[in-house]
Chains A and B, each alone.
Chain A
Amino acid sequence: MNSPSAQFVSSRRMSVYDPIHQINMWGEGFKSNGNLSASIPLIDEADLKFDSSQSEDASHGMLGTSNKYEQEANRPIDKIQRRLAQNREAARKSRLRKKAYVQQLESSRLKLVQLEQELERVRQQGMYMGGGLDSNNMCFAGPVNPGIAAFEMEYGHWVDEQNRQISEMRNALNSHISDIELRMLVDGMMNHYAEIYRMKSAAAKTDVFYVMSGMWKTTAERFFLWIGGFRPSELLKILGPMIEPLTEQQRLDIDNLGQSCQQAEDALSQGMEKLRQTLADSVAAGQFIEGTYIPQMATAMEKLEALVSFVNQADHLRQETLQQMSRTLTIRQSARCLLALGEYFQRLRALSSLWSNRPREPA
């Protein structure tokens, strides 16, 4: 079929019959090799082609063979229709995906609420959770102890308040805050530490083993445990570099403080060792005689009472160390020191979390 080329056909969109026909005719006019008769069938053809191009797949057949002019005339309409249809399809698929996603979210949320409720219920029944308050280290240590359950709840609040104070201190040190205001923040943090020691003392009376083992702490914190808490001399070594620059007198004072801590810690550790020995002896000397009073157990029980004193003395040492630090340092140094201390424990807690959530190779 002889198809006159239509180089001059404009690139503008053709959406209606008439312009196409006109252009066809124009095309023929230009071309005029005298093939006027050819135009008519072409028009008809164009009509035909145009009609058939209404269907989606017709355009494919068209492109190779038909009048290029007409192709371009048809293509825009094809394109548009095709594009519209594709859009509709895409939109539909998108809506379906969104719906699926939202449903998934909803069911996850529901599961989360259920888990939280169960967690709360279990806590209130007085079961202990090892590894601090993250659910990764559950170890149930026995039946209800309301004193400990109360402690754990209070501890959660204590940590929240601690985190808030740390942020506040950080911001304060980065801004231009007066020494007076800084002192208030420092006092606030010191009082907050006093608070945890009060809490621990009360908890020790209800369950001294719980406090001795640092059960409320995260795993990494517990790794560094010494008589139910941190070791003051260790902490001094860590914090030392963070409070530079120091005057010579301060340096001397801090060194002496470190030494005094070490001596006090050693004395307490030796006392603990003696307690262990005498306790072991009492238990070893005991007998199991049915229905008889076992005096050795009574002795052992008395020994355990001493553990409460140890916890109290160790906490007392921690507090005294913190106070002596703040006496030796300027207010700004104290603030930096307390900030560093708080951040150190935050990082230990984060480390515990990271460790327990690390991807593990399947055995």
Chain B
Amino acid sequence: MHQAIPYMSSHNNNFGNINENYYSNKKKENHASSKGEEKMILNMVSENAVIVIGKRGCCMSHVVKRLLQSLGVNPAIHEVEEEKDEVIVARELESIIEGNVQFPMVFIGGKLFGGLDRLMATHISGELVPLLKQAGALWL
């Protein structure tokens, strides 16, 4: 259902980094209107072939990002800045996440994929690249 169309996803991947800056700035300006933001995160998840949501300055997020980039993926990044943002994000993503929210988390093809653990395990077993291709994050 959330299979990204190649054109769309490449379009969004380019936007991914822009989105990152946009949303971080927005957070700084306006904490009150969380409703708009909530939607945004869900939208981001569904609109991007690959998106990484992590805490700002977290080195593990950096690892996730680097790994995906080394595979030729240009993932969207969303940084969560403060404690309460975490809560907001968690609440919002409840609809698509079971259990606790653990950062960093990776969404592939609009679905929660997992954390660094799962990313590494599937990469080692050779299953990650086909999955990314399937989601339109990678081309041959």
Contacts and interface: CB of A to CB of B under 8 A. Distances in A.
Contact of B63 (A257, A261, A270): A270
B124 A274 contact: no
Nearest to A307: B59
Contacts of A272: 59
Contact of A278 (B59, B63, B70): B59
B33 interface: no
Q: Which of A253, A268, A310 has the most CB of B within 10 A?
A: A268
B97 interface: no
A267 B60 contact: no
A324 interface: yes
A316 interface: yes
Interface of B: 57-60, 62-64, 66-67, 70-71, 116-117, 120-121, 123-126
Contacts of A275: 59
Contacts of A270: 62-63, 66
Given A313-B116, A316-B120, A317-B124, A266 B70 contact: yes
Secondary structure class of chain A's binding surface, majority of residues: helix
Contacts of B58: 306
A263 B67 contact: yes
Interface of A: 253, 256-257, 260-261, 263-264, 266-268, 270-272, 274-275, 278, 303, 306, 309-310, 313, 316-317, 320-321, 324, 327
Nearest to A317: B120
A271 B124 contact: no
Contacts, number: 63
30 contacts: A253-B126, A256-B126, A257-B126, A260-B123, A261-B124, A263-B67, A263-B123, A264-B67, A264-B123, A267-B64, A267-B70, A270-B66, A271-B59, A271-B62, A271-B63, A272-B59, A275-B59, A306-B58, A306-B59, A313-B116, A313-B117, A313-B120, A316-B120, A316-B121, A317-B120, A317-B124, A320-B120, A324-B124, A324-B125, A324-B126
A309 B126 contact: no
Contacts of B71: 263
A263 B60 CA distance: 15
Contact of B70 (A263, A274, A317): A263
Nearest to A270: B66
A324 B124 CA distance: 7
Nearest to B63: A271
A253 to B, nearest CB: 7
A267 B66 contact: yes
Contacts of B57: 278
A304 B120 CA distance: 22
Contact of A260 (B62, B64, B124): B124
Nearest to A264: B120
A309 B66 contact: no
Given A266-B70, A267-B70, A320 B124 contact: yes
